[in-house]
Amino acid sequence: MAVLPTLQKQRHPLSSTAAQKRRLDEIPLAHSFEQMLGSGDGFPLRPTHLRVLQLNVGRKCNQTCRHCHVDAGPDRVEMMPPDIVDASLRVFAENDIPVLDITGGAPELHPQFRHIVEAASALGRQVMDRCNLTITRLPNYRYLPEFLAAHRVEVIASLPYFQAHQTDAQRGDGVFEDSIAALREFNRLGYGAEGSGLILNLVTNPVGAFLPANQAAAERDWKGQLQRRYGIVFNRLFTITNMPISRFLDHLEEKGQTEAYLSRLVQAFNPAAAAGLMCRDTLSVGWDGTLYDCDFNQMLDLSLAPGAPRSIHDFDPALLAHREIVTGPHCFGCTAGAGSSCGGAVVKND
């Protein structure tokens, strides 16, 4: 598998979050995100109830996907230290938060990944692993499918398309073949099979500068295609819009498509998607314990609004419930069309 250097390793100008924010801010838009929310009485954006604690345990990954909003890759070294892991697990245990969502990078590369899964799943709540699939084909990580099955972890697996050409173009040469092998292994253990209780959901990001297809229609198509071509079954397909930050912003810049893509997102603004934004029921924890409204804000160094807790060490449900969610032009990525979240489309149209 060919693995490219991250923006950070290249010392690319867009590895700076300030440079990314500056670039987004200089694009002339018909309306700001805040104005668009205001038109639907949605501004300032506030949380509903905390449903998901999302831990970004580190930026190291065995892949360097071209759309990655984390700029993750093998050369990244950021890893959540043990005291932040402990504090995060304590917050999850001591509060009524239904879901722990473990992400990265490839979160399985974290040395305490097994500990996190064991501790969280022992609480009997929903635990999700955002898995790039290929990690399970590496010699030291072949244990993962059986381990995840044993702890009833919901697997959210990335697969941009049901064909190799598109998948490899986004995620690297050979990724599709390894992903299919990984999915077969998950299926062998019962993942994706009706009634098994082992949930295997797929995540697809468009392979390029366009919006995702209708989620329900795409899911029907994918179920037929993956079953017929490879005998693979899965539960749900989540469509996620590419966020115009980090490596996808770099891709847009290379193609001269940044303005056109932002305009497309603004043009497709959907007030219904704005009402269901994931930042309203999610709290994102960075590798160093800093709190964010979402993983995208985390990657732009947009921490919680003044007055809200800064770190997982200062977790305070009352203060968090009354915060204003921090927004910017990138937020149009979550409100375009049917909307986009870590759980796929926000507005479900069959």
Q: How many helices (H) and strands (E) does the chain have?
A: 15, 8
Q: Which stretch binds another protein (CB under 8 A): 20-28, 80-88, 161-169, 324-332?
A: 161-169
> In the chain, which ranges are E strands?
52-56, 99-103, 126-131, 154-158, 200-204, 237-239, 282-285, 291-292
CB of 113 to another protein, least distance (A): 34
Q: DSSP string of 171-213?
A: H-TTHHHHHHHHHHHHHHTTTT-TTS---EEEEE--SSSSPPP
Residue 17, interface with another protein (CB under 8 A)? no
Q: Which of residues 179-238 bind another protein (CB under 8 A)?
A: 206, 208, 210-214, 217-218, 221
Only one of the segments 9-17, 160-168, 247-255, 278-286 lies at the binding site for another protein (rule: CB under 8 A); that segment is 160-168
Establish if 143 lies at the interface with another protein (CB under 8 A).
Answer: no
Shorter beta-carbon distance to another protein: residue 16 or 166: 166
Three-class SS of residue 96?
A: coil
| Chain length of the chain | 350
Min dist CB 85 to another protein, Å, is 39
For residue 22, what are the CA distances in angstroms to 18, 25, 27, 38, 82?
Answer: 6, 5, 9, 23, 34
Q: Which residue in 72, 256, 258, 249 sits closest to 172, CA to CA?
A: 72
Minimum distance, C-beta of residue 208 to another protein, in the bound complex (Å): 7
Q: Which one among 160, 192, 337, 344 touches another protein, defined by CB under 8 A?
A: 337
Nearer to another protein, 166 or 311 (CB): 166
Q: According to the binding rule CB under 8 A, does residue 161 interact with another protein?
A: yes
Indicate which single residue of 35, 39, 95, 163 sits in contact with another protein (rule: CB under 8 A).
163
Nearer to another protein, 75 or 221 (CB): 221
In terms of Cα–Cα distance, which of 247, 226, 343, 181 is closest to 13? 247
Binding flag, residue 166, another protein (CB under 8 A): yes
Token pair of 211, please? 């919006």
What whole-number distance in Å separates Cα of residue 297 and Cα of residue 284?
9
Our finding on whether 263 is near another protein (CB under 8 A) is: yes
Residues near another protein, by CB under 8 A: 161, 163, 165-166, 206, 208, 210-214, 217-218, 221, 263-264, 337
